[in-house]
Amino acid sequence: MNNIKSTSRRGVKKPGRGVGSASTNVTQDRMGDGVQNETVFYSKAENYWREVEPTVDGMLGGYGKISNIDIDGSKKFLQKFLGQGEGKTGKGCALDCGAGIGRITKRLLLPLFNTVDLVDVTQEFLDQAKVYLGDESKRVENYFCLGLQDFIPQDRRYDVIWIQWVIGHLTDDHLVEFLRRCRGGLRPEGLIVIKDNVAYEGVIPDDVDSSVCRELALVKSLVTRAGLTIVCEEQQMNFPDEIYQVHQLALR
Ligand SMILES: C[S@@+](CC[C@H](N)C(=O)[O-])C[C@H]1O[C@@H](n2cnc3c(N)ncnc32)[C@H](O)[C@@H]1O
């Protein structure tokens, strides 16, 4: 990955929105660590996603071509933790957060877990997920249409909670609170995985989709505030040079 492009804060594209560069405009609704006017921040994001086509390309901001590499990297990462025996994560139920049309559910989670739940703020994507997942959708138990800032996972329900390309849509405080609630939603030896873009330095706002991209140190500090420990961390390799670095963090 090309840190110079990240450092310049210009021309860094990202799966999730992709086509435009990450904007450096700081508007009235966003300052400093993230957000000044939460209502505007969340409603702008909802409006943005409502206009996005419900396809893999739409989910990845025009970078549908990297989906296979992404899923392969996720599978390798996750499989380190799954299995039987002490300390191993079970394969019962997974939660896909900010699931969109179920790109990750289809290729990563349903092949590994007995059942999967999806949560996303965009109803149209969840409707499309039922079509996109085809026959396998019978192993999806719940489609929750809700912002993660409001979502409360059921206590001790999940072996894995997968959170990909969505943390930038939460304020710092909401992300910490959400991660705390996720802790409560884990079964014994359960695992939370965050996989997301990281900025080379600081916090980079995106006024088009109403999100922020945080530097890795900040993401880690929010994880720690949530009372979680990073048990494994890896950078996703083989993505195009022009996009942000993507890191995956396994948390308990
Ligand atoms: C970049 S897409 C990623 C979708 C999926 N994680 C993937 O990798 O294919 C971001 C998703 O987050 C959802 N989203 C945006 N803000 C959200 C929020 N506050 N709570 C839950 N989902 C949100 C959007 O509807 C969209 O489906």
Q: How far is the CA of 121 from the centre of ligand 1 (A)?
A: 7
Using DSSP's 3-state secondary structure scheme, residue 110 falls into coil
**Eight-state DSSP code of residue 201:** S
If 0-12 CB within 10 Å is exposed, 13-18 middle and 19+ buried, where does residue 64 land?
Answer: middle
For ligand 1, mutation pick of 106, 166, 195 (most atoms within 8 Å of CB): 166
Count of helices and strands (H, E) across the chain? 8, 9
- Average pLDDT of the segment spanning 109-127: 98
Using DSSP's 3-state secondary structure scheme, residue 75 falls into helix
> What is the C-alpha separation between 46 and 42, in angstroms, rounded?
6
Amino acid symbol at 192: I
pLDDT in tens, 211-240: 999 999 999 999 999 999 999 999 999 999
Q: What is the CATH number of the domain that holds 67?
A: 3.40.50.150
Locate the DSSP E strands across 49-148. Answer: 93-97, 115-120, 140-145
pLDDT in tens, 37-58: 999 999 999 999 999 999 999 9
| Residue for token pair 């702008």 | 44
> Which of 25-29, 123-127, 183-187, 196-200 has the weakest average pLDDT?
25-29
Q: How far is the CA of 96 from the centre of ligand 1 (A)?
A: 10
Q: In the predicted model, is pLDDT for residue 27 greater than 90?
A: no
- Domain with 33, as residue range(s), is 3-251
Q: Give yes or no for residue 122 CB within 6 A of ligand 1.
A: yes
The pLDDT of residue 19 is 28
Q: Is 148 annotated as a binding residue?
A: yes
Which distant-in-sequence residues (6+ apart) come within 8 Å of 211 by Cβ?
Answer: 16, 17, 45, 168, 169, 205
Q: Indicate the pTM of the whole model.
A: 0.91
Q: Is 103 annotated as a binding residue?
A: yes
Domain tally, the chain = 1
